[in-house]
Amino acid sequence: MKAAIITEPGKTPVYGDFREPVAEPGEELITVSASALSQFTKGRASGSHYSSEGAIPAVAGADGVGRTEHGRRVYFVMPEAPFGALAEKTLVRAGRCVAVPDGVDDITAAAIANPGMSSWAAIAERARLQPGETVLINGATGVAGRLAVQIARHMGASRVIATGRDEKALEEVKSLGADVVIPFKLGAANPAGAEEYEDALQDQFAEGVDVVLDYLWGESAAAVIIAAAKAGKEGVPVRFIQVGGASREDVRLPSAALRSSAIVLMGSGINSIPFSGLLSAIRNVLHAVVAAHLQINTKVVPLSEVEKAWNADFGKSRVVFVVK
């Protein structure tokens, strides 16, 4: 069968022939129709993600959409090594499949499931958002952050604050449900921009922020935590949920920022949430696509072009490989 094959950790997968999987009891043989290119997929392919299994050669792809041998249309996650989602067929444990609702096409389901799950699980399982609370999304202009704005609003947030580096993209996020947008220009080269960002954050925490979803980490996350410590309401906890590390930076944080505030730091992802909770989040996201009119930009690419598209920049669109 045709597949995107990992021949060496850290190298771009190559398009070629790989042996077909054979299902054992408790497994589903999936004929794949679509699979998105995410940081989760790239991390597992390179061996850098903590859930990576390390089998080489192997097929890339951590999740996707396809049909079982009985014709059931499903979203699936974490196929059995050495098989992956970027192939004509793959092998998945039956418990790692979620039915795709009518009204949600394969490409949308493949694109939205993983980033939507990260937001839904963080908000529902870790933050335990209550209707009427305020959510600040740090890094709201990326694919996952844009979905987080929509999902927070759908789940009952009364006010959504969005931060990001791209001011034009932040303006677009307003149409997705953000009430307030705060652009940042951090770094020693732009002290005025950093000060303006910190002041704007403190204004929002003074007004009241209940939950922070952080997709960036690094300097911008530290600024959010410090602003919560300086201006947050006394004795009122701020649930800071760390979801992604798009900045590729560590955090340098003064200890006083934690001692002088009621902030609660939590992570959200595989192992911090039971797998059943992640599957439930995926199921909820797929059902919310129609109910909440969730929007995600996609770039459809044939699987045969995986080598060209793997490291290409498609902006704010989620790349979805289609298998034909």
Domains in the chain, please, with CATH?
A: 2-99+294-322 (3.90.180.10), 121-267 (3.40.50.720)
What are the distances in angstroms from CA 94 to CA 23, 30, 161, 239? 10, 10, 39, 34
* Model pLDDT, residue 191: 60
On average, the pLDDT of the chain sits at 91
Separation between Cα atoms, residue 176 and residue 318, nearest integer Å? 17
pLDDT (mean) for 43-58:
66
Separation between Cα atoms, residue 273 and residue 121, nearest integer Å? 8
* Model pLDDT, residue 35: 98
> For the residues of 196-211, what is the DSSP string, one character each?
HHHHHHHHHHHH---E
pLDDT (mean) for 12-38:
96
> Is the per-residue pLDDT at 49 higher than 50?
no
Separation between Cα atoms, residue 80 and residue 59, nearest integer Å? 10
> Is the per-residue pLDDT at 315 higher than 90?
no
> Is the per-residue pLDDT at 137 higher than 70?
yes
User: Which band of pLDDT confidence, cut at 50, 70 and 90, is reported for residue 188?
Assistant: low
Cβ(60)–Cβ(46) below 8 Å: no
Whether the bond between 82 and the residue before it is cis, its omega within 30 degrees of 0, is yes
* Model pLDDT, residue 259: 86
* Model pLDDT, residue 254: 85
> Is the per-residue pLDDT at 134 higher than 60?
yes
Per-residue pLDDT tens over the stretch 105-131 = 999 999 999 999 999 999 999 999 999
> Is the per-residue pLDDT at 42 higher than 80?
yes
- pTM summary value: 0.89
* CA-based nearest residue to 166, from 186, 148, 187, 183: 183
* Model pLDDT, residue 192: 57
Per-residue pLDDT tens over the stretch 199-252 = 999 999 999 999 999 999 999 999 999 999 998 888 789 999 999 988 888 888
* Model pLDDT, residue 47: 59
> Is the per-residue pLDDT at 308 higher than 80?
yes
